[in-house]
Amino acid sequence: MITGASSGIGAAAARLFGAEGASLVLMARRQKLLQDLVEEVCEAGGAATAVAGDVTSVQDVTAAVAAAREVYGGLNGAFNNAGWSAMPAPLHLMDDSDFDATMNVNVRGVWNCLRQQIPALLENPDGGSIVNTSSTAGVVSPRFPPAPYIAAKHAVIGLTKAAAEEYGDRNIRVNALIVGATRTELMQQGFDLVPTLEQDFKDRSMLPRVAEPDEIAQAAAWLCSDASSFVTGGSIPVDGGFTAL
């Protein structure tokens, strides 16, 4: 199950996971883009099902997990990638609506997914793996994201650690990706808004460039696979060294 699958990192993950042989339930709000992606994955020889929905809705998340059971017989892994941020502004000038929307998508969205995915994974004798998308903003405080986004991505890491500890003895692994600046639709909006932003990220990274969505998808695929069988509770940086400086 991949959320935020209609574009950016989620879409790259769908293509990669499908090519690697995973059967996919793809969830996002934009139904047309989602359906186009399902057709692309299937035409390439993969298996994918679209469930249009919003991670802030328990009913929508429940429907996606139900689709995994109904279409494929169960759920073995999940990449909780849906995210959102308001445009940057000083904390005291931000509206409560920006705070609420940021927390709802980034924190409650992960919470809703964990609450529905974990019971499905508990049905598997071999457990499963969940990957949550956090950010460099979940570890440090970069200059660009607004305060609610930084708080939300810190919370994602907390939820990841808590779930990993609670369900490790049932062989359910839960990890977070510390994602650096990546050339997604949302990130490009930030680059367009702040002309110096892309160079700022490059200057603060050991690898002086912005990531491509497929590079993040590769890390998620590893964490969802048996190749990372002894990795749980981790916050794995895929950030070009941004948080190491």
Catalytic (active site) residue 149: yes
Characterize 53-69 residue by residue with b for buried, 16 or more Cβ atoms within 10 angstroms of its Cβ, and e for exposed: bbbbeeebbebbbebbe
Catalytic residue among 17, 149, 167, 201: 149
The token pair that represents 190 in the structure block: 């930030």
Number of H helices, E strands in the chain: 9, 7
- Per DSSP, the three-state class of 218 is helix
The token pair that represents 147 in the structure block: 């305060």
- Phi and psi, residue 167, nearest 5°: -115, 10
- Find, among 107, 181, 98, 81, the residue nearest to 147 by Cα: 98
Specify burial of residue 111 (Cβ count, 10 A radius: 0-12, 13-18, 19+): buried
Distance, CA of 147 to chain centre: 19
Looking up tokens 């929508």 gives 60
- Inter-axis angle of helices 8-19 and 213-224, nearest 10: 50
- Phi and psi, residue 52, nearest 5°: -70, 135
Pairing status of strand 235-238 against strand 172-179: parallel
Residues forming the active site: 149
